[in-house]
Structure 1
Amino acid sequence: MKLYAHPFSSYCQKVLIALYENELPFELCQLGPDNPAVAAEHAALWPLKRMPLLLDRGRTVPESSIIIEYLDLHHPGPVRMLPADPRAALDVRLLDRFFDNYVMTPMQKFVFDSFRDEDQHDRQGVADAGALLDTAYAWLDAHMAEREWAAGDTFGLADCAAAPALFYADWVRPIDTAFANLRAYRQRLLARPSFARAVDEARPYRELFPLGAPARD
């Protein structure tokens, strides 16, 4: 398998966690301005040029959640990303969408707005994104009150989504100390070997974070 990705990308880390959880062999085709040949391969395979993208035996698989489900079906390992029970799987998918839409997306609003010229900043949009993150944090804190992982006692797809989402979101909108359950969950994610590996592999690129990476994590 080949994974077209960059180690510092949140959505790429989401897939890397799933790969590392089950020790699946793959080749990282690192995207970036210094790798034009890889970028050309990626564009030929997926004209939308979004990452990550998985190439497996001639089949291209885009989108992080779909890639993880694909791996669970075609390259299953001891850590299953989705439970066999379709009702339980629905809960996992809901949480996966929650982290992508209500944590990752508003976090990215802060980042993308920082690239704009001073007179083009979307202050209202950033304020709305901050309010959404606060609401998401509060809901997650209550949700995690009696759980080890997002969907219960088992690590899976939802936690792959949660790890990079909460990692970067806390950089742009620190999780309030009042949300002890959520902060503890974030620490459990950081201690998970698969995510710890992804975080370490991304350390050389922290200077790329436009808002400035904090001296922690």
Structure 2
Amino acid sequence: MEDFKLENIDHGDIEDLLEEVEKSFNIKFVGNELIGIRNFGELCDHITKKIQLEDIDDCTSQQAFYKLRNVISTELSVNQKEITIKRKLEELFPKKIRRSNLKKIEEKLGFKLKILTAPNWVMFPLIVIFLLSFICFFFSWKIALSGIAFSTLGFWMADMTANEIELENVGQLVERMTRENYLQSRRKQETFNKKEIEKVLRDWFSDKLGLEKTKLTRDAKFL
């Protein structure tokens, strides 16, 4: 079978993702150390070796669920038995007080959950205006700059007022916590589970880069 090649992927998206990986696992890629990485398996092994922590065979996603459940129960006065992985986030965070309640949860957890987004009817026109503004440079730089400034301000306001939850349930939020805040989601942040890292990275790359998990094998080559 021919090896799957990771092509037609924006290098900027990969760089942004690797920065998030650094933050989640508290590591730092220095200089050109990744230049010799040929496939996804080698990248996973390289990241695993860089995590200089005690290896403990336990489940981070389970710990993330318990941590999230305890904080939600304490801060929002919700019975722990009612907080399951299938519980809808929209039920836990009513729209009128959603932003304030999420802020409480994030302060207790010690990191941002980043699950709020503006509705499509707000974002789509702003994206169109932003893209058309660059075309306007061929006709009028004043109009182009005005369009860019307007859309940029719009993106900022949309982010500041975003109130739509982009995830469906607690389980999906736990998965995101495990990926984007791996160490902070663990009971003992000075430890990690070596066996989990490849799965966490596969789920993360698949979600962020729009790749099929079945094709994201250890032999999937970077181009």
**Normalised by the size of structure 1, how large is the TM-score?**
0.24
Rg larger in structure: 2
**Normalised by the size of structure 2, how large is the TM-score?**
0.24
